[in-house]
Chain A
Amino acid sequence: MRLRTFSYFFREAFISFARNRWMSLASIGAVASALIIFGSFLLISVNFDHILKDVESQVEITAYLKDSVDTGSIARLNTEISSISGVKQIKFVSKEAALEEFKQQVGKELLEGIDNPLPNSFRIKVEKPQDVARVAGEIQKLQGIEEVKYGKGVVEKLFKIIYWIRILGVAIMAVFAAVSIFIISNTIRLTVFARRREINIMKYIGATDWFVRWPFLLEGMMLGFIGSAIAIGILAGGYSYLYNIVKLNVPMISLIPINEFYEYALGFLAIGMFIGAFGSSFSIRRFLHV
């Protein structure tokens, strides 16, 4: 494509944009809202994830051994547990060590002269928090294991919450994206209508369908692009503001700093332009007959 042709397309897109000012602004607003909502949910879920990682790194599995297990079997269990996939770290805690720990916690004097009631145990850390339940289950099945314990329930619940936040974010974004596509396709329809004479003439003088289509596609993509740029600006501003408030007032919660989200910005622009292109191709197909 020639540069002049290309600049012609852009000029035409800008002219329509100026002509349909109000509809164009509505389109931009729609795309911006869709992406702001989606972006907010994204920020929430990513941060939740992050906070959860913190919590999870503290979640470990404790596997208590039967009293009958001898030293040889302990070594065997150690290798067996280590070979379960997802296990990151395993540490053996003998009866005696456990008692020592316990004494430290409750006070030596209280336990003086009592038979050690505590069993031998392993403390296991997993690589991925999602694996905790599975790994615990597999350990339970091994010979010589009395009982397996971990922060049951909490981890699963938090994961469910993140899962639903994501689903909700995507669902709301889908609804808003559909609304944006609808509004953009209406805007482009106005443009097509305003220029139907011109389009007709273009076809008589031998313009290809793509030559006719491009200005409309570009106009739609431009609307989407501007909408997503606005969304990025608002999200970045709002998030930095919240980030600083949280950091000052609730220092134990660690949020992800804003610059880690910059890579998403390109994705947002792409989504915005895609919505725009999709909306206008809708109208092009229905009203342009090319």
Chain B
Amino acid sequence: MIETYGVTKIYPGGLVALRDINIKISRGEFVFIVGPSGAGKSTFIKLLFREELPTRGQIFFNGKNITRMKNREVPLLRRRIGIVFQDFRLLPEKSAYENVAFAMEVTEASSREIKKRVPYVLEKVGLAHKASAKPSELSGGEQQRVALARALVNNPDVLVADEPTGNLDPDTSWEIMKLLNDINKRGTTVVVATHARELVDGMRKRVLQLDKGVLVRDEERGVYRNEA
């Protein structure tokens, strides 16, 4: 479902963030992307939802070459990809419910669909009882659940998360990770970039390790780092 061929990303200024990356991620997989700071994890994530374009190489999503995609097709691509960030990125003026509903309003879904779907996903992330709370009234873990609900509300093919537990304490991180695992069990492909060694080691999922922009390891049921 996601395939990259010889993907290289060189930022203006000449910094090589990714070098000749060839990866296949199939439907229903759960993949960790690990590596030290500056390895290119965020860059890889950004290439997936076309926040950035590769300097060389091709990226396919559901068989479609997204590097050749016209700008006006990008919103449609992003509706197929749920995106979650370390800093949650919720709208502070809107309640949890409204934040999630907004992702559907943007796609011009009908009120009826929204009223049905939003409570359903809030329930799924265990936040039905906090639907009317503003982000400032929620804990970090709860805010990240709202962000997850928002990422899921349009039923994406893949959920992409860049350090989703980076701002959370270990217990809360575990809860979020379990939630991601649940989401994955229900059929959504999940790609997570992370620093969290314990989580990766505890989950035993496929691990892609980057180092200075190079893919140095691709291991099924892997751990954070193989100490050689």
Binding site for B on A (CB under 8 A): 1-2, 4-5, 8, 197-198, 200-209, 211
Contacts and interface: CB of A to CB of B under 8 A. Distances in A.
Contact of A208 (B49, B75, B83, B111): B75
| Interface of A, helix, strand, loop or mixed by DSSP | helix
21 contacts: A2-B108, A5-B108, A8-B105, A197-B91, A201-B90, A201-B91, A204-B49, A204-B83, A205-B83, A205-B103, A206-B75, A206-B77, A206-B79, A206-B103, A206-B106, A206-B107, A206-B154, A207-B75, A208-B75, A209-B71, A211-B75
Contacts of A204: 49, 78, 83, 89
Contacts of B105: 4-5, 8
B41 interface: no
B55 to A, nearest CB: 20
Interface string B55-86: 00000000000000001100111110001000
Given A204-B89, A206-B75, 17 more contacts: A2-B110, A8-B105, A197-B89, A198-B91, A201-B89, A201-B90, A204-B49, A204-B83, A205-B102, A206-B76, A206-B79, A206-B106, A206-B107, A207-B75, A207-B106, A209-B71, A211-B75
A205 B78 contact: yes
A13 B107 CA distance: 19
B150 interface: yes
Interface of B: 49, 71-72, 75-79, 83, 89-91, 102-103, 105-108, 110-111, 150, 154
Nearest to B151: A205
A255 to B, nearest CB: 53
Contacts of A5: 105, 108
Contact of B106 (A1, A197, A202): A202
Nearest to A15: B93
Nearest to A200: B89
Contact of B72 (A8, A207, A209): A209
Contacts of B106: 202, 205-207, 211
A205 to B, nearest CB: 4
Contacts of A203: 75, 78
A5 B106 CA distance: 8
A137 B83 CA distance: 80
Contacts of A209: 71-72, 75
A201 B146 CA distance: 14
B192 to A, nearest CB: 17
B57 to A, nearest CB: 23
What 4 A-B pairs have minimum CB-CB distances, sorted nearest first? A206-B79, A206-B78, A207-B106, A205-B103
A205 B110 CA distance: 17
A19 to B, nearest CB: 11
Contacts of A211: 75, 106
A126 to B, nearest CB: 59
Nearest to A208: B75
B86 to A, nearest CB: 13
A2 B150 CA distance: 21
A2 B104 CA distance: 13
B150 A205 contact: yes
B228 to A, nearest CB: 38
Nearest to B153: A205
Contacts of B79: 205-206
Nearest to B90: A201
B102 to A, nearest CB: 7
B71 to A, nearest CB: 8
A1 B110 CA distance: 11
B155 to A, nearest CB: 12
B103 to A, nearest CB: 4
Nearest to A3: B111
A1 B49 CA distance: 26
A208 B89 CA distance: 19
Contacts of B91: 197-198, 201
Contacts of A206: 75-79, 103, 106-107, 154
B3 to A, nearest CB: 22
Contacts of A8: 105
B43 to A, nearest CB: 16
A220 B172 CA distance: 45
